Amino acid sequence: MSPRRRDAEGTATARAERRAELLATAAEVFASQGYSATTVRKVADAAGILGGSLYYHFDSKEAMADEILSTFLDEMWAAYERVLAAGLSARDTMEGVIVESFRSIDRHRPAVVLYQNESKHLATSERFHYLLESQRRFEKMWLALLDRGVEEGAFRADLDRTLIYRFIRDTVWVAANWYQHGGRLSADDIAKQYLAMVLEGIQAS
């Protein structure tokens, strides 16, 4: 490898790492202060750089939010698809999906908070229409999984599946508001205890 090419690749790597750092900072600011209240200047201040320097990496606040949310959702769905493609029972698939949900919170907590708090507002913009598609896909996945669990005799048939879906959705993802990476319980530990509580209520006797 020529010195010029090596230098170019080193520069590209450093820029990518700096970009990732700035996105992490932006995600924290969006999560703590709210998307509407956050300005490019506030993100720059939190990152310790001048406001104009941020535009070297991102052309707008929307671009930062877009990359934060799309990265989180792409990784979440890739993890879900691996679980769904594994050929597991409905019960085991549910366990796998919930574990991956808590792992997503562990990796992308500020992005999850941003998604929860701002997706309804952001989705009115053409740029963020994919948020609505992800919500529809999520609901479809869960309702199909709950139906399959009833068919397999693993889940109770007398409970309303839409209510169960909403309960699971809301109680899993609200954890992003209090979860701390490196805390007393890991994401997997929390998922196991959560599953023990949820499955106790919906499993067939």
At residue 168's C-alpha, the angle toward residues 126 and 26, to 5°, is 45
Q: How many CA atoms lie within 13 A of 118 on its CB side?
A: 24
Q: Is residue 8's pLDDT more than 60?
A: no
Residues with Cβ within 8 Å of 111's Cβ and at least 6 positions away in sequence, in order, are 27, 31, 68, 69, 71, 72
pLDDT band for position 96 (cuts 50, 70, 90) = very high
* Confidence (pLDDT) at 16: 81
The pLDDT assigned to 148 comes to: 97
Tokens, residue 188: 């997997």
pLDDT confidence band for 54 (50 / 70 / 90)? confident
pLDDT at position 61 over 80: yes
Which residues, at least 6 apart from 47, have a Cβ–Cβ distance to it below 8 Å? Answer: 21, 22, 25, 26, 54
Task: Give the number of C-alpha atoms closer than 13 A to the C-alpha of residue 192, restricted to the C-beta side.
Answer: 5
Which residue in 158, 178, 72 sits closest to 115, CA to CA?
Answer: 72
- Greatest distance between any 2 Cα atoms in the chain: 69
**Contact indicator for 197, 175 with CB cutoff of 8 Å:** no
Which domains occur in the chain, in start order?
1-58 (1.10.10.60), 61-202 (1.10.357.10)
pLDDT at position 7 = 46
pLDDT class of 109 with cuts at 50, 70, 90:
very high
| pLDDT band, residue 182 (cuts 50/70/90) | confident
Output the CA torsion 191→192→196→198 (10° steps).
20
